[in-house]
C-alpha cells in the first residue's frame, strides 16, 4: 500500500503529459450520459467522430470509455496492442445472470484461455469441416421449411439456426419448432440480449446496488436469466449423457463429446472428467449466444437485399445455375466456384453488419495512443459500422453492391474484407467465425438456388417499397425485412427430393 501514492502520482503525471482523447465536456456525476446516442448509436458516434476525431472520450458516471471511429485506431488498439486491450470489463450483473463461466465475457486469464482453447480446437478451419454434412442437411431442411411456410421466413430462420447449433453442440435433432430444446435456447439468449443491448444495468455503475433485496425488479430479472442459463446447460447435458447410455446418438459429431474426449484424453480421473464436463457445458452458452442471433440476422438481411436489388439476385441465380446446375442443390464442393455468392455475403456484412459496435474491450494498464493517454480500466468500443460505411474506402456505401469485392471475376485482394472488422479483434477475435461463414454459405447458396425473393405486396397486389434501415441493438438487422418468397419454377423439384453429387 505504501507504493499507492507513487503509482497515483505517476498516472497523474502521464495524464498531464499526454492529453486524454477529445470529447464532449462531461457533466458532474452523470458524465456524458446526455451525449450518448439514443437510437442507432453507431450513427451518433459517427457524427461525434466527425467533430472530435477518431478517438472520442466519454464518461458514463465514473466509467471512462473511448469510442474508436476508424480502422487505423481500432487495429492499433484492439489488434496490435491486444495484450493490453483484450480484457472485458467485469460488472456485478455478469455473475448474477449466470455468465461468470461464459468465456466471451470473462476477464483475460488462465480460465479464459482454457475455455477459449477448447472451443477453438473444435471450430478452427480444419476441425470445422467435420460439421459440413450436418450443416448441409440443416440447410436443405430450411429450404423445405421456406417452401411450406413462405410467410414465416424470420421464424424459420431463427429456429433453423438454433436447431443447427444445438445439433452441433449436443447431437440433438430438434425438428419441431415447439421442441423443448429450442425453447431452452431462446430462453437463455433473452437475458444476454438485454445485457448487451442496454450496455449493462445501473448496478454495474453503482455496485452497491447488487445488495438490493431479491424482490427488487432488476434482481428478479437477473435471477430468472441465471436460472434460464443454468437450465440450458444442465438439462441439455443431462439429456446428452442419458443418450450416451442408450446409444441413441446422432450420426454426426457433436462438440460436447469432442471437447470432453480431447480434455480427458482417455484418463479415468474423476477430477479431470469433471473439469472437462464443466468446460464443455460452459462453452455451449458462448456458442448459442454468439451464433444464433448474428447468423439469423445476416441471413435475413441477405434475402431482404435480394428483394431490393433484383439485378444482384439475377447474377447470383446465373452463377448458381452455371456451377450447380438444375438437378441438385449446392454443396461445399461448389464453394470456391461461387465467387459472386461470396461477394454477396461480404457485402451484406458490410452493408448491415450484425454487430455494428461489437463487444467492448477494456485496457489492463495505462497506455499512450496517437499522443493521447488511455487510463487502465477504460472501456474501448469500436464503431464497426462507421468503418464499413466510410465513403473513402467503400464508394457509395449505402448501396448494396457486391461487385466492390470483385476484380476480373475473382475476389479482389485489395478490397477490405468486412470480416476483418465484423468478427472482432486481437485475442478476442470470434473463434467460431469459420463455422459461421460455412453456415452462411450453405444456407444462402441453397435458398438462392431454389427461391426468388421480391418485395412484399399489399392487399391489391402492389409492391411495397421498404427503405433499408437498421434497428437499434447490440445485434442489428433490417427494421422491416419483409419479402415475398417464391420457388423458381425450374427448381421446385429440388425441394421435393434434392439429389447431391
Stretch (H or E) spanning 93: helix 93-96
pLDDT of residue 139: 97
pLDDT of residue 212: 80
pLDDT of residue 175: 67
Direct distance between the N- and C-terminal alpha carbons of the chain, in angstroms, rounded to an integer? 70
Number of CB atoms found within 10 A of residue 197's CB: 12
Q: How far are the Cα atoms of 215, 413, 499 from residue 212, in angstroms, in the given order?
A: 8, 55, 60
pLDDT of residue 267: 66
Which residues, at least 6 apart from 409, have a Cβ–Cβ distance to it below 8 Å?
A: 339
pLDDT of residue 481: 94
Would you say 187 and 172 are in contact if contact means Cβ atoms under 8 Å apart? no
Whether the predicted pLDDT of 7 surpasses 50: no
pLDDT of residue 15: 54
Which residues, at least 6 apart from 460, have a Cβ–Cβ distance to it below 8 Å?
A: none
Q: Which of 461-465, 479-483, 490-494 has the highest mean pLDDT?
A: 479-483
Q: Give the whole-angstrom CA distance, residue 450 versus residue 486.
A: 9
Whether the predicted pLDDT of 501 surpasses 80: no
Phi-psi region of 206 (alpha: psi -120 to 50; beta: other; left: phi over 0): beta
pLDDT of residue 174: 80
Q: Give the whole-angstrom CA distance, residue 122 versus residue 256.
A: 9
Would you say 56 and 45 are in contact if contact means Cβ atoms under 8 Å apart? yes
Max Cα–Cα distance, the chain, nearest Å: 80
Q: How far are the Cα atoms of 59, 76, 175, 241 from residue 55, in angstroms, in the given order?
A: 13, 12, 48, 50
**Mean pLDDT score of the chain, rounded to an integer?**
89
pLDDT of residue 497: 47
Domains and CATH numbers, the chain: 1-91+360-389 (3.30.43.20), 101-359+390-496 (1.10.630.10)
- For 64, the 3-state DSSP assignment is strand
Q: Give the whole-angstrom CA distance, residue 488 versus residue 290.
A: 33
Confidence grade of residue 223 (pLDDT, cut at 50, 70, 90) = confident
Residue ranges of the binding site for heme: 430
Would you say 131 and 438 are in contact if contact means Cβ atoms under 8 Å apart? yes
Confidence grade of residue 213 (pLDDT, cut at 50, 70, 90) = confident
Confidence grade of residue 80 (pLDDT, cut at 50, 70, 90) = very high
pLDDT of residue 58: 96
Average pLDDT over residues 324-330: 95
Whether the predicted pLDDT of 16 surpasses 70: no
Confidence grade of residue 251 (pLDDT, cut at 50, 70, 90) = low
Q: Give the whole-angstrom CA distance, residue 347 versus residue 490.
A: 28
Confidence grade of residue 214 (pLDDT, cut at 50, 70, 90) = confident
Q: Give the whole-angstrom CA distance, residue 119 versus residue 168.
A: 12
C-alpha cell at 76: 492499433
Would you say 298 and 318 are in contact if contact means Cβ atoms under 8 Å apart? no
Confidence grade of residue 8 (pLDDT, cut at 50, 70, 90) = very low
| pLDDT tens profile 338-370 | 999 999 999 999 999 999 999 999 999 999 999
Cα dihedral across residues 335, 338, 340, 344: positive or negative: negative
Number of CB atoms found within 10 A of residue 381's CB: 23
Average pLDDT over residues 215-235: 87
* Helix 270-308 × helix 310-323 angle, to 10°: 120
Which residues, at least 6 apart from 27, have a Cβ–Cβ distance to it below 8 Å?
A: 33, 34
Would you say 204 and 362 are in contact if contact means Cβ atoms under 8 Å apart? no
Query: Counting beta carbons within 10 angstroms of the beta carbon of residue 424, is it exposed (0 to 12), middle (13 to 18) or buried (19 or more)?
Result: buried
Buried b (16+ CB within 10 A) or exposed e, 25-51: ebeeeebbeebbeeebbbbbbbebbee
Residue ranges of the binding site: 430
User: Over pLDDT 70: what percentage of the chain?
Assistant: 92
Q: Give the whole-angstrom CA distance, residue 309 versus residue 276.
A: 49
- Least confident piece of the model among 40-44, 180-184, 395-399, 436-440: 180-184
Would you say 164 and 440 are in contact if contact means Cβ atoms under 8 Å apart? no
Number of CB atoms found within 10 A of residue 321's CB: 14
Collect contacts of 335-339 with beta carbons under 8 A, ≥24 apart: 335/441, 335/445, 338/441, 338/445, 339/406, 339/409, 339/410, 339/411
Q: Give the whole-angstrom CA distance, residue 107 versus residue 83.
A: 12
Number of CB atoms found within 10 A of residue 92's CB: 19
Integer Rg of the chain from CA? 24
Confidence grade of residue 301 (pLDDT, cut at 50, 70, 90) = very high
Confidence grade of residue 178 (pLDDT, cut at 50, 70, 90) = low
C-alpha cell at 16: 498531464
Confidence grade of residue 1 (pLDDT, cut at 50, 70, 90) = very low
Whether the predicted pLDDT of 4 surpasses 90: no
Average pLDDT over residues 49-67: 95
Amino acid at each position: 500500500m505504501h507504493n499507492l501514492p507513487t503509482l497515483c502520482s505517476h498516472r497523474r503525471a502521464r495524464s498531464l503529459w499526454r492529453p486524454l482523447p477529445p470529447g464532449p465536456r462531461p457533466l458532474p456525476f452523470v458524465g456524458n450520459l446526455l451525449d450518448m446516442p439514443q437510437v442507432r448509436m453507431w450513427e451518433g458516434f459517427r457524427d461525434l467522430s466527425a467533430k472530435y476525431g477518431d478517438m472520442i472520450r466519454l464518461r458514463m458516471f465514473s466509467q471512462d470509455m473511448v469510442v474508436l471511429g476508424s480502422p487505423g485506431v481500432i487495429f492499433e488498439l484492439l489488434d496490435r496492442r491486444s495484450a493490453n486491450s483484450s480484457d472485458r470489463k467485469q460488472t456485478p450483473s455478469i455473475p448474477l445472470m449466470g455468465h461468470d463461466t461464459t468465456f466471451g465475457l470473462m476477464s483475460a486469464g488462465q480460465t479464459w484461455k482454457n475455455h477459449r482453447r477448447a472451443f477453438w480446437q473444435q471450430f478452427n478451419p480444419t476441425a470445422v469441416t467435420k460439421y459440413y454434412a450436418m450443416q448441409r442437411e440443416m440447410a436443405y431442411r430450411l429450404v423445405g421449411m421456406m417452401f411450406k411456410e413462405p410467410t414465416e421466413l424470420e421464424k424459420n430462420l431463427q429456429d433453423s439456426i438454433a436447431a443447427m447449433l444445438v445439433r452441433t453442440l449436443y447431437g440433438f435433432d430438434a425438428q419441431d419448432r415447439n421442441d423443448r430444446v429450442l425453447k431452452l435456447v431462446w430462453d437463455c439468449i433473452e437475458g444476454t440480449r438485454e445485457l448487451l443491448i442496454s450496455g449493462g444495468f445501473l448496478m454495474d455503475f453503482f455496485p452497491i446496488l447488487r445488495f438490493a433485496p431479491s424482490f427488487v425488479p432488476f434482481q428478479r430479472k437477473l435471477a430468472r436469466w441465471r436460472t434460464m442459463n443454468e437450465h440450458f446447460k444442465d438439462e441439455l447435458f443431462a439429456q446428452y449423457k442419458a443418450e450416451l447410455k442408450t446409444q441413441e446418438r446422432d450420426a454426426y459429431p457433436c462438440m460436447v463429446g469432442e471437447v470432453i474426449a480431447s480434455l480427458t484424453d482417455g484418463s479415468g480421473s474423476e477430477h479431470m472428467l469433471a473439469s472437462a464436463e464443466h468446460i464443455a457445458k460452459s462453452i455451449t452458452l458462448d456458442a448459442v449466444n454468439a451464433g444464433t442471433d448474428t447468423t439469423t440476422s445476416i441471413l435475413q438481411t441477405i434475402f431482404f437485399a435480394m428483394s431490393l436489388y433484383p439485378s444482384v439476385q439475377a447474377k447470383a441465380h446465373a452463377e448458381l445455375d452455371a456451377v450447380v446446375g438444375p438437378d441438385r442443390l449446392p454443396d461445399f464442393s461448389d464453394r470456391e466456384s461461387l465467387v459472386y455468392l461470396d461477394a454477396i455475403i461480404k457485402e451484406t456484412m458490410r452493408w448491415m453488419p450484425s454487430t455494428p459496435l461489437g463487444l467492448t474491450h477494456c485496457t489492463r494498464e495505462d497506455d499512450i495512443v496517437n499522443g493521447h493517454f488511455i487510463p487502465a480500466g477504460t472501456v474501448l468500443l469500436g464503431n464497426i459500422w462507421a468503418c464499413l460505411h466510410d465513403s473513402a474506402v467503400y464508394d457509395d456505401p449505402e448501396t448494396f453492391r457486391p461487385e466492390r469485392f470483385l476484380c476480373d471475376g475473382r475476389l479482389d485482394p485489395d478490397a477490405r474484407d468486412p470480416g476483418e472488422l465484423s468478427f472482432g479483434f486481437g485475442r478476442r477475435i470470434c473463434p467460431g467465425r469459420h463455422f459461421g461463414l460455412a453456415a452462411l454459405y450453405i444456407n444462402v447458396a441453397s435458398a438462392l438456388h431454389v427461391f426468388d425473393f421480391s418485395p412484399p405486396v399489399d392487399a391489391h397486389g402492389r409492391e411495397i417499397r421498404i427503405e433499408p434501415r437498421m434497428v437499434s441493438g447490440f445485434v442489428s438487422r433490417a427494421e422491416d425485412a419483409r419479402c415475398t418468397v417464391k420457388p423458381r419454377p425450374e427448381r421446385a423439384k429440388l425441394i421435393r427430393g434434392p439429389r447431391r453429387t
